[in-house]
Amino acid sequence: MPLEEEPVMTSAKNTPTPAPGRPGSAPPSLEEPARPTGPLPPKPDQQGVQPRTPTGADPSPDRSTNAQQGAHLTTSQGARLRDTDHSLKAGARGPVLLQDHHLREKITHFDHERIPERVVHARGAAAHGVFEGYGTAEPVCRAAFLAQGRRTEVFTRFSTVVGSRGSMDTARDTRGFATKFYTEEGTFDLVANNIPVFFIQDGIKFPDVVHAAKPHPDREIPQAQSAHDTFWDFVSLHTEAQHHTLWFMGDRGIPRSYRMMEGFGIHTFRLTNAAGETSLVKFHWKPALGVHSLTWEEAQLLGGADPDFHRRDLSDAIESGAHPSWELGIQVFPDTEAQTFEGIDLLDPTKFVPEELAPVQPVGRLTLDRNPSNYFAETEQVAFNPGHLVPGIDVTDDPLLQVRLFSYVDTQLTRLGGPNFAQLPINRAHAPVNDMLRDGYGQQGDHAGVAPYRPNSLDGGCPFTAGEQDGAVTDLPVRVPEGIKERALSATFEDHYSQARLFWRSMTPVEQDHIVDAYSFELGKCYEATIRQRQLQCLANIDGRLCARVAEALGMPAPESTVAAEDPAGQVPFSAPLSQLGGAWPVDGRTIGILVDPEADNSGLLDLHEAIAAASMTPVVIAPRGGEVAGVPVGRTFATAASVELDALLLAGAPRLAPDSRPSSADGLEPRAGTLIDECWHHAKAIGAWGPGREALEARTVPGGAGLVVGDDGLEVLDGITELLAAHRVWERFPARA
Ligand code: HDD
């Protein structure tokens, strides 16, 4: 039988799912197609080029993608199948036959679809993008990707640390911020976090802190939480963890969005310029949208309403064209033998250098502009490693970093099933690769030649080693301090409290309230009174007032500090950039709910919807039922709407219950509409209203209260709301308690 001609477009994946309220995407057909037809086109934010293979010549497109080719279902060997729904049986009601190859292949492959999740940072979301160098790093760094105007493809993965792969995005936790720069000189990975200091000073303690933070081993609860005894047992005994812990008890532990987080390389790295001179640096990512957080209540509600909140937020923003971006910056310190700066030990990863002492100097911009097209292939299989460095960037003797250099390759061997994970498309270098690594599980290279060893004469001596003039990575002749072999830590690592105190002091009163609430919640979840008591002692050593407030909430006595309260030499008393408040920021990608009453006059709704989208924000129409209102699709019904998904709420109408339908509130407002307004008010979100919406606003909030905008029509109100959103939240609605 002759084979049918293949249609040109063959992939059946990438069915677009329109974001709530976003009109325009063509819906798939109601019927299952009977003949091959062209599939729905890939989403614009997913189109991209495949990375090139590291071994041999470029593969043909057919060889690089061994899935989803042609219109017909095949076995993994390419044989076409005419049935995938019925196993081969001895008679329609008889037993299944072992000879059914397709059945066995389908089930066997399915049985092995899962791989071990990451031992930490299991839950994540990622995106492709581009990094553009400013050229400003040239005086200190010779890495080519930092050159002015040089554009380098990147892949960035954000993550929580503690929860497993299916856990909620909004857990209180540190966030990972790992970026792979596919540079022409090899791949550089900046494997960073959203907090500039770490829990521990020596990598040998990493299993301890992770075991303490993960769920209790007997019952495996709680998931993705630090609010339990083992975590607080460890950090209250291991006081170098107190500084990091204070940061994530603060608002940075519950970011509003991955797009609104800073990133920090934490360790000090050593850079070399073209003249061979070295400097010590710390890397920073500064988000264009500013640093913003959820409230704790929002984070908890989102855990139920939308556990994928951050993942969805990132991909929706990219899909809608609101491409998140960050500036990469460096703090530069002289490379002295002491490796300290203003009294701060640069090798201690539990310390940061306040920006007042060393400004962050911008060296380039990262923009994320393309969503992955396959979560498993890209986001799950990407393998970062702080040891992936390029000429011009080197490590220091920070004992945390030194241990990381071992751990990352090691973990991929189990997670990705063998030593060839660098050949997975997402991990392939974009620079030419010519290694002598051979064979092993999952080998995809079809290596030519007979001499994967050096020296050789059989392959013409290839590959040759490169000199510095050929762009080779060089080992810097850094002096190693002389000493005896010992398991010890430098005395300069001993101060565990002074920078935590600096952080606490630098918070605004409302941020301090959030920290007090976070400790009160977390310690309130601990069963053991001795652990709460011990942690209160640590808080007393950070700041007496912080300790007293948490102790009061727990109903326990506040201990006295046991450490010296004076600041160490060189420390600033206060550091403004540590606070997230103040300033005005772009509103790109913010979500604006529009509550409508379909029975009312909604003539201005389409214009309002378009104006919000034109301002790079996402409008979501919320109505009692689905369908369309005045030509605009309903994004959420009362059954699916949650206030916590919104950054601001517009009341275009006041949907009411029929008087006899069921018990209603005194104002007659549909109760779920009332809850939306109440929660937005309570979470200090901007709320606007016009027409009948004004009545609802007055009934459910404090008339004339902060962050309420009323006007004659939606467009007028939108202006006021956009202005309020630039500050993220209506902070005046949270009166400071202390
Ligand atoms: Fe780590 C993953 C960041 C210390 C061992 N780490 C991982 C990821 C990030 C970080 C962002 C997720 C990467 C991804 O998205 O795939 N880790 C950090 C930072 C640290 C740090 C900023 C301190 C400054 N890590 C650290 C230590 C060790 C590890 C001290 C071990 C001694 N980290 C790992 C790991 C992971 C990992 C077990 C799990 C999955 C992976 O590597 O690929 O090797």
Whether 447 is catalytic: no
What distances in angstroms separate CA 442 from CA 104, 243, 445, one per listed residue? 21, 43, 9
Relative to beta strand 591-595, strand 618-623 is parallel
Indicate which atom in ligand 1 lies nearest the CA of residue 382.
16
Stretch among 30-39, 412-421, 642-651 having the lowest mean pLDDT: 30-39
Instruction: Take residue 275 and report the two structure tokens written for it.
Output: 């003249």
Give the predicted TM-score (pTM) of the model. Answer: 0.93
Instruction: Take residue 408 and report the two structure tokens written for it.
Output: 């990352």
Indicate which atom in ligand 1 lies nearest the CA of residue 411.
44
Does 387 score more than 90 pLDDT?
yes
Q: How far is the CA of 154 from the centre of ligand 1 (A)?
A: 18
Q: Does residue 63 have a known ligand-binding role?
A: no
Mean pLDDT of 706-732: 96
What is the structure's pLDDT at 51?
40
Q: Where are the domains of the chain?
A: 124-206+255-427, 591-733
Q: Is 730 left (phi over 0), alpha (psi -120 to 50) or beta?
A: beta
Does 12 score more than 60 pLDDT?
no
What is the structure's pLDDT at 206?
98
Stretch among 183-187, 207-211, 364-368, 447-451 having the lowest mean pLDDT: 447-451
pLDDT digits (tens, 9 = 90+) for 614-650: 999 999 999 999 999 999 999 999 999 999 999 999 9
Query: Could you tell me which CATH number the domain at 124-206+255-427 has?
Result: 2.40.180.10
Ligand 1, atom 40, residue with closest C-alpha: 118
Residue 171 CB-density burial (10 A; 0-12 exposed, 13-18 middle, 19+ buried): buried
Q: How far is the CA of 416 from the centre of ligand 1 (A)?
A: 15
What is the structure's pLDDT at 32?
83
Please, which residues have CB within 8 angstroms of residue 514's CB and are 6 or more apart in sequence?
250, 251, 295, 296
By most ligand atoms within 8 Å of CB, the mutation choice from 121, 258, 347 for ligand 1 is: 121
CATH architecture of residue range(s) 591-733:
3-Layer(aba) Sandwich (3.40)
| The residue to which tokens 């500039």 are assigned | 196
**Residues lining ligand 1, Cβ inside 6 A:** 118-121, 124, 157, 159, 176, 178, 191-193, 198, 203, 206, 266-267, 349, 382-384, 400, 403-404, 407-408, 411
Question: DSSP class of residue 376?
Answer: I
Half-sphere exposure of 117 (CA within 13 A, CB side): 14
Map residue 270 onto helix, strand or coil: strand
Indicate which atom in ligand 1 lies nearest the CA of residue 159.
15
Q: How far is the CA of 120 from the centre of ligand 1 (A)?
A: 7
Q: Does residue 206 have a known ligand-binding role?
A: yes
The whole-angstrom separation of Cα 92 and Cα 426 is 45
Instruction: Take residue 363 and report the two structure tokens written for it.
Output: 């060296």
Sign of the Cα pseudo-torsion (248, 254, 258, 261, in order) = negative
Residue 718 CB-density burial (10 A; 0-12 exposed, 13-18 middle, 19+ buried): buried
Percent of residues, the chain, with pLDDT higher than 90: 79
Task: For residue 500, give the nearest of 581, 559, 558, 561 by alpha carbon.
Answer: 561
Q: How far is the CA of 161 from the centre of ligand 1 (A)?
A: 9
Work out the pLDDT band at 8, boundaries 50, 70, 90: very low
Which residue in 193, 194, 385, 541 is the catalytic one? 193
Map residue 192 onto helix, strand or coil: strand
Which stretch of DSSP H or E encloses residue 301? Answer: helix 296-305
What is the structure's pLDDT at 604?
94
Whether 121 is catalytic: yes
Does 56 score more than 50 pLDDT?
no
Instruction: Evaluate whether 99 touches 88 at the Cβ level (below 8 Å).
Output: yes
Mean pLDDT, the chain, integer = 91
Instruction: Evaluate whether 571 touches 501 at the Cβ level (below 8 Å).
Output: no
Q: How far is the CA of 176 from the centre of ligand 1 (A)?
A: 8
Q: How many helices (H) and strands (E) does the chain have?
A: 16, 20
| The residue to which tokens 């037809």 are assigned | 37
pLDDT digits (tens, 9 = 90+) for 145-187: 999 999 999 999 999 999 999 999 999 999 999 999 999 999 9
Residue 51 CB-density burial (10 A; 0-12 exposed, 13-18 middle, 19+ buried): middle
